[in-house]
């Protein structure tokens, strides 16, 4: 099988942890323990978030104008792909020496006509006072917006349309190499009228990119790996209920939090709808069990009543 | 033909320039103008320096302990590979749309028994007072050394022995993809007794890695591209003389500056001696002319008197 596994940002850094290299390398080892069995048996593509990493680099790059002007988001995103890609490739090499693994620097094309480009919505970087924020907006042509009691920069979050390095990714997978790519949703670029690529100041949602990647490489399964065991309906309410085997149709009938589960559910549904193959959302450490459907939320094209369950006993006998 | 082109650090940033992203992207466009003709006609591998880039990231990472602990050199080197690789891949895509290009994150294995590991010799990062330097040496287990009137950290500069991603690089080249890899000499790693890779705090000379890369991929030519037109004997003296067509034997008979031309000459000689193929040292903008031997310093296995000159008239008639 060919599998795309997307690691959530907290696969590398837990909320509240200092973003030290050593801490992240420790988490990477744990992530790779979960991914190693998959990479032994399957063609594996790994993609990953980069929120805390790009946040740190943005802060550092912006701290001292005497050193350099603050770097744009495309360059900072590329830096995080290099670093996280290195950590993952090395840990996978150590865990599964029989396979080769490589991390690619990856660009994601978004539409120059995407309406999101005119409506920045994604908070990035540090918090400012209103006065500071307004000064930066003037000086740097930023959009800024209140975030609670402070102000922050906002950038567009357009939809991914194309992965520039796709043919290389497919070729490597065909030859049995495990590929780490499109980290942080890919470096955001637009394609000019003459076909030239140009980096932009934006953030592409990594789960949407993972779905596009999975569809584009012809994956049999998309695994969205995070720190919750399953998608819940009524999350945070007394009637909360984990969804185990479900369908695009059923999921589309519910609302999920825009900040966390919403994009994952949408990405999973898009992939399943486009391909007829399965997607699953659940714990990183359950990666192998998610694939067999024995845990987590497993999404298939047909509703559970018509789809063959992955194992017997997964629903109560009638 | 298969060609390895190594870009010197000043292909991306001139001495004295601020390391802003915009300035480097501007230089990248100029570099790619010189490389584009080669990539249209040949299988091209591009490698590059990262001195100023890793220097800036090291400074930034070390500036504010409240943000994070200073990152190790392997992670910072990986960051620069991501960023510079992105810039080069995008500019090459724009210049030569008919070819595909990809930047790989690349690890270079050095010998765990390399004597250089016990004798740090390469200055990295910022300057300190003696007191500061001695404190950092204690706190972080650094080696520090006087550099003129101030003090700096020194790290080992071991010889490259193996490029971990070699099979992937060869495979991509065979399929016609241009490959950007092993930036900054590659991320320095050692191979433990059990075969596992581990990043180390070191800097691998990028010209030596370029020579190893060229030999390993079966290159027909190694181009070391810099900001001087040719190797000179007696550099800086009244009797300075540019070397045009020369041999390993002739070059080994001269001394060159350890800081700049020395490693290039040595790398070029190693490649020519190991393979019998040509190497050339010269201006980045002369890349195409270096390959045909019409400018720069061209090094071949046999002395010029026995080797066929690349064109007639390259030496005075006798």
Has residue A16 got a pLDDT over 90?
Answer: no
CB contact under 8 A, A197 and B94: yes
pLDDT over 90 percentage in chain A: 79
Which is catalytic among the residues A49, A50, A206, A296?
Answer: A206
Of A3 and A67, which is predicted with more confidence? A3
Taken in order A180, A185, A189, A195, the sign of the CA dihedral is positive
Query: Bridge-partner residues for B123, per DSSP?
Result: B154
For residue B208, what pLDDT is reported?
Answer: 96
Interface subset of B 44-83, CB within 8 angstroms of A: 56-57, 59-61, 63-64, 67-69, 71-72, 74-75, 78-83
Mean pLDDT across B228-252:
92
Residues from chain A that touch B105, judged by Cβ atoms under 8 A, are: 81-82, 85-86, 89, 102-105
For residue B178, what pLDDT is reported?
Answer: 98
CB contact under 8 A, B19 and A104: no
pLDDT in tens, A107-142: 999 999 999 999 998 888 788 999 999 998 998 889
Closest CA–CA distance from residue B216 to any residue of chain A (Å): 17
pLDDT in tens, B119-163: 998 888 788 999 999 998 998 889 999 998 999 999 999 999 999
Mean pLDDT across B94-105:
97
Task: For chain B, state the CA radius of gyration.
Answer: 20
Give dist(CA A6, CA A251) in Å, integer: 20
Could you tell me if A29 lies within 8 Å of chain B, comparing CB atoms? no
Residues from chain B that touch A61, judged by Cβ atoms under 8 A, are: 60
The nearest alpha carbon in chain B to A72 belongs to B21
* B230, B13 Cβ separation under 8 angstroms: no
Has residue B179 got a pLDDT over 80?
Answer: yes
Interface subset of B 220-249, CB within 8 angstroms of A: none
For residue B306, what pLDDT is reported?
Answer: 59
CB contact under 8 A, B105 and A87: no
Mean pLDDT across B247-264:
89
pLDDT in tens, A36-87: 999 999 999 999 999 899 989 998 998 888 899 999 999 999 999 999 999 9
Give dist(CA A12, CA A25) in Å, integer: 8
Residues from chain B that touch A18, judged by Cβ atoms under 8 A, are: 68-69
Mean pLDDT across B284-294:
96
pTM to 2 decimals?
Answer: 0.93
For residue A198, what pLDDT is reported?
Answer: 98
Mean pLDDT across B213-227:
97
Interface subset of B 83-142, CB within 8 angstroms of A: 83, 85-87, 89-90, 93-94, 97, 100, 102-105, 107
ipTM for the assembly: 0.93
CB contact under 8 A, B72 and A167: no
Residue A236 to residues A231, A232, A275, B186, Cα–Cα distance (Å): 12, 9, 32, 48
CB contact under 8 A, B59 and A75: no
CB contact under 8 A, B177 and A168: yes
* Average pLDDT score, chain A: 92
For residue A305, what pLDDT is reported?
Answer: 63
For residue B258, what pLDDT is reported?
Answer: 79
Residue A207 to residues A4, A8, A32, A57, A75, Cα–Cα distance (Å): 11, 9, 19, 22, 21
């Amino acid at each position: 099988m060919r599998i795309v596994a997307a690691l959530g940002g907290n696969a590398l850094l837990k909320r509240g942890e200092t973003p030290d290299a050593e801490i992240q390398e420790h988490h990477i080892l744990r992530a790779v323990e979960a991914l190693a069995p998959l990479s032994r048996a399957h063609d594996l593509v790994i993609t990953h978030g980069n929120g805390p990493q790009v946040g740190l680099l943005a802060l550092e790059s912006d701290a001292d104008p005497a050193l350099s002007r603050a770097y744009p988001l495309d360059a900072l995103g590329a830096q995080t792909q290099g670093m996280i890609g290195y950590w993952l490739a090395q840990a996978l090499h150590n865990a599964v020496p029989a396979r080769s693994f490589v991390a690619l620097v990856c660009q994601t094309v978004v539409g120059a006509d995407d309406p999101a480009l005119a409506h920045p919505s994604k908070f990035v970087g540090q918090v400012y006072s209103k006065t500071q924020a307004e000064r930066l907006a003037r000086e740097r042509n930023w959009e800024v917006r209140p975030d609670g009691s402070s102000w922050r920069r906002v950038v567009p979050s357009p939809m991914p349309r194309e992965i520039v390095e796709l043919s290389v990714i497919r070729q490597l997978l065909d030859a049995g190499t495990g590929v780490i790519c499109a980290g942080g949703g890919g470096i955001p670029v637009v394609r000019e009228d003459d076909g030239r690529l140009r980096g932009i100041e934006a953030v592409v949602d990594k789960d949407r990119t993972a779905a596009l990647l999975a569809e584009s490489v012809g994956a049999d399964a998309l695994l969205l790996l995070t720190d919750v065991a399953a998608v819940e309906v009524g999350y945070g309410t007394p009637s909360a209920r984990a969804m185990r085997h479900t369908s695009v149709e059923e999921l589309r009938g519910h609302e999920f939090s825009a900040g966390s589960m919403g994009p994952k559910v949408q990405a999973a549904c898009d992939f399943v709808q486009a391909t007829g193959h399965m997607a699953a959302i659940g714990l990183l450490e359950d990666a192998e069990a998610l694939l067999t459907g024995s845990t987590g939320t497993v999404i298939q094209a047909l509703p559970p009543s018509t789809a063959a369950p992955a194992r017997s006993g997964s629903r109560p006998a009638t």
